[in-house]
Amino acid sequence: MALFKRLNSKLTPIINTGFGTNATLNGKRFLNKDGNARVKRLGLSFFESNSWYHTLLDMPTWKFLGVLLLFYMGINFVFACLYFAIGIEHLNGIATTQSQWEQFGQAYFFSAQTFTTVGYGHISPVGFMTSALSAAEALIGLLSFAIATGLFFGRFSKPRVYLKFSDNAIIAPYQNGTALMFRMAPYKNTNYLDTEVDATIGLSIEEDGVLTNKFYTLDLEINKVNTLVLSWTIVHPITDKSPLYQFTEEDFANVQGEILVFVKTFDDMYSTTVATRTSYIFPEVVYGAKFKSMFESSAKHTHTLIHLDDLNTFEKVML
């Protein structure tokens, strides 16, 4: 209650965050570490509530390739079964003296040749039903490869934000007081211009006996840089105007809170603005720490070396 009175007397909460005020509905945190909202949408069928195009664009590469392989193998298996059901004698080139497993195997590979429109000519359809089925399979194959090509292009051409964030935020000494800090760094050969950061803190506090979500803007020491080529430590000075003012280590352990980070930058490779986000819940905030340096000069002093594996390295200090 004392925390609520202090915040309510000095700060005006944000009401248009999109996360709602009911603290029992946020599932422990608002955003996952990868920036996706911690929300499951119910009330619609599985196919209505999922965009397969977006799912295939966003899934990891190994999963995407696995889906394509399974689809290719599965659809050829289905057509091989259909050819086998019509009758293997309608596929000219498959010997009827072979075992059924060998006949099915050849029907499967005939399906693969038809699906890809390769058509080696060793096996050919005979009769209306088999010819119609192979014609339909060739059409489905052409459409499938067109869709797969579009998905490959979409995955390669989709703008992505290649930024890594530190695993933890820290409460560190700053000037004559303390500050909340976290840092990020680009990790690919991309050029980011006009990078802008916004940070919001969400607190679950008791108001009239009801646990309520309250959101407050965190004022940053610098919230925009012209170009982002090295790491950037984002600093929120903890003054008497900060929602974290007079927060102790015990408060971070006992209060349910989350720091929401939103980053917007211009990628000159794609000539477009891209965005990303992440969050830090209070157990991920280290009280009394200082980030270690990530930089050093090259041996000949011609380059600045940045060690991305040190992005989250810090040392404990007394506050």
- Would residue 17 count as lying in a domain? no
Is the residue at 140 inside a domain? yes
Instruction: Assess if residue 19 is contained within a domain.
Output: no
Residue 178: phi, psi to the nearest 5?
-130, 170
Amino acid of residue 54: H
Claim to verify: residue 169 and residue 153 sit in the same structural domain: no
User: Which residue ranges in the chain fall short of pLDDT 70?
Assistant: 1-10, 15, 20-27, 207
Predicted pLDDT of residue 296: 84
Query: In this structure, are 276 and 189 located in the same domain?
Result: yes
3 state DSSP class of 258: strand
Please report whether residue 12 resides in a domain.
no
Does one domain contain both 177 and 299? yes
Q: Report pLDDT for 133.
A: 93
Q: Is residue 64 part of a domain?
A: yes
Residue 124 confidence (pLDDT): 87
Q: Is the pTM of this model over 0.85?
A: no
Q: What is the CA radius of gyration of the chain?
A: 29
Q: Would you say residue 195 lies in a domain?
A: yes
CA atoms within 13 A on the CB side of 231: 25
Determine the Cα–Cα distance for residues 77 and 68; give it in Å rounded to an integer.
Answer: 14
Last residue of a domain, one of 99, 131, 157: 157
pLDDT at 77: 95
For residues 171 and 151, membership in a common domain is answered with no
- The residue out of 140, 157, 174 marking a domain boundary is 157
Structural domain span for residue 245: 161-316
Q: How many domains does the chain have?
A: 2
Whether residues 170 and 310 share a domain: the answer is: yes
Q: What is the pLDDT of residue 139?
A: 94
Do 52 and 151 meet the contact criterion of CB atoms below 8 Å apart? no
* 142 and 89 inside one domain: yes
pLDDT value at position 27? Answer: 58
Q: Look at residue 87 in the predicted model and tell me its pLDDT.
A: 87
* 44 located within any domain: no
